[in-house]
């Protein structure tokens, strides 16, 4: 059931669907909505039951049967659903997926970090979460130079430092690549200009051009048989170059 959109309500929320999001996120969104709409504490149970959707409502009803779920405390209902949806997860499979996640070739470090954090959410690492994030992150990096730099820190490397240094090094690599690309383009342009100039000088020194060679040169200004650079400022001399 979607949250009402009538006068006095801010936003809307659909019923919970386990295939689209986890219960933790849905609960947070629902509580934010109730807070934004100033739902009174005495009304929270009824609003909660009315909005969580048919599937979640059935789970709660079956759990408290034969009692009426609307007679329960809000925190009791929350615990029922938290326990239910947590128990349906295979923690071994979740940890395997987390540990196998490596950075994709075109994936940024920031995106890789975000994906690891999502995968680790229900792995049950507890106080060891940041250690596991650090280890999986470093082991899965594509850039071997960044990886080697982080590994050189040894056990002093923290999860926070690992991600900050990796992002900084990635940005430095991108800036360096952009600078090199600009320099290469400038060098190429200069080389072509120099080559054209040398070719003109070489042809000017030769006096035995045949007709076929001369026909290869066409000035886009006057359509004469010479390079554009050789056009004279004098309208008559322009045709006396050859």
First to last CA, the chain: 89
Rounded distance between C-alpha atoms, residue 176 and residue 194, angstroms: 27
Q: What is the pLDDT of residues 56-78, one digit of tens each?
A: 999 999 999 999 999 999 999 99
- In whole angstroms, what is the distance from residue 112 CA to residue 147 CA? 14
Mean pLDDT over 230-242 rounds to: 50
Q: Using pLDDT thresholds of 50, 70 and 90, give the confidence band for residue 39.
A: very high
Taking the domain 91-175, which CATH number applies? 1.10.1200
Taking all residues of the chain, what is their mean pLDDT, rounded to a whole number? 81
| E strands present in 76-219 | none
pLDDT of 19 strictly over 60: yes
For residue 10, the model assigns a pLDDT of 86
pLDDT tens digits, residue range 121-151?
A: 888 888 999 999 999 999 999 999 999 999 9
pTM: 0.51
Q: Which of 181, 162, 25 is nearest to 103 (CA)?
A: 162
Contact 135, 110 (CB under 8 A): no
What ranges do the domains of the chain cover?
23-87, 91-175, 209-242
């Amino acid at each position: 059931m979607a949250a009402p959109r009538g006068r006095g309500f801010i936003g809307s929320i659909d019923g919970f669907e386990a295939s689209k999001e986890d219960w933790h996120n849905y609960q947070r969104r629902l509580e934010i909505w109730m807070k934004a709409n100033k739902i009174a504490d005495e009304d929270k149970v009824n609003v909660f039951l009315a909005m969580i959707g048919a599937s979640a409502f059935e789970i709660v009803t079956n759990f408290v049967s034969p009692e009426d779920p609307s007679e329960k405390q809000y925190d009791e209902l929350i615990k029922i659903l938290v326990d239910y949806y947590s128990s349906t997860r295979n923690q071994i499979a979740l940890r395997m997926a987390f540990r196998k996640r490596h950075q994709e070739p075109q994936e940024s470090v920031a995106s890789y970090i975000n994906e690891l954090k999502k995968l680790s959410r229900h792995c049950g690492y507890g106080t060891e979460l940041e250690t596991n994030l650090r280890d999986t992150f470093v082991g899965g990096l594509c850039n071997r130079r960044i990886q080697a730099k982080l590994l050189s820190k040894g056990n002093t490397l923290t999860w926070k430092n690992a991600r900050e240094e990796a992002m900084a090094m990635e940005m430095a690599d991108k800036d360096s690549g952009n600078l090199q690309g600009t320099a290469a383009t400038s060098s190429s342009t200069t080389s072509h200009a120099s080559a054209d100039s040398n070719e003109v000088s070489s042809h000017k020194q030769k006096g035995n051009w045949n007709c076929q060679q001369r026909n290869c040169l066409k000035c886009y200004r006057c359509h004469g048989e010479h390079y554009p650079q050789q056009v004279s400022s004098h309208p008559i001399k322009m045709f006396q170059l050859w």
